[in-house]
Amino acid sequence: MIQLVVNFPPKQIGKFSSEVLTLGVPDLNGDVVLVQPGFEVPLGGRMF
């Protein structure tokens, strides 16, 4: 399960319009690792 932020106003990214933010952080090699919970959580939960 990855974490996304939805219901953002549309944002133009190149030729595409995006309404979702995918969360990620770089690892020690600079590769992006998607943020995900370490255990089961309900879908649609609010991030704090």
Query: Are β-strands 16-18 and 21-22 bridged in parallel, bridged antiparallel, or unpaired?
Result: unpaired
pLDDT at 2 over 80: no
Q: Identify whether the C-beta of residue 22 lies closer than 8 Å to the C-beta of residue 42.
A: no
Local confidence band at 7 (pLDDT 50, 70, 90 cut-offs): confident
pLDDT tens-place string over residues 22-33: 888 899 999 999
DSSP state of 47: P
Specify which of 6-10, 25-29, 43-47 reaches the highest per-range mean pLDDT: 25-29
Rounded CA-CA distance 34/18 in Å is 18
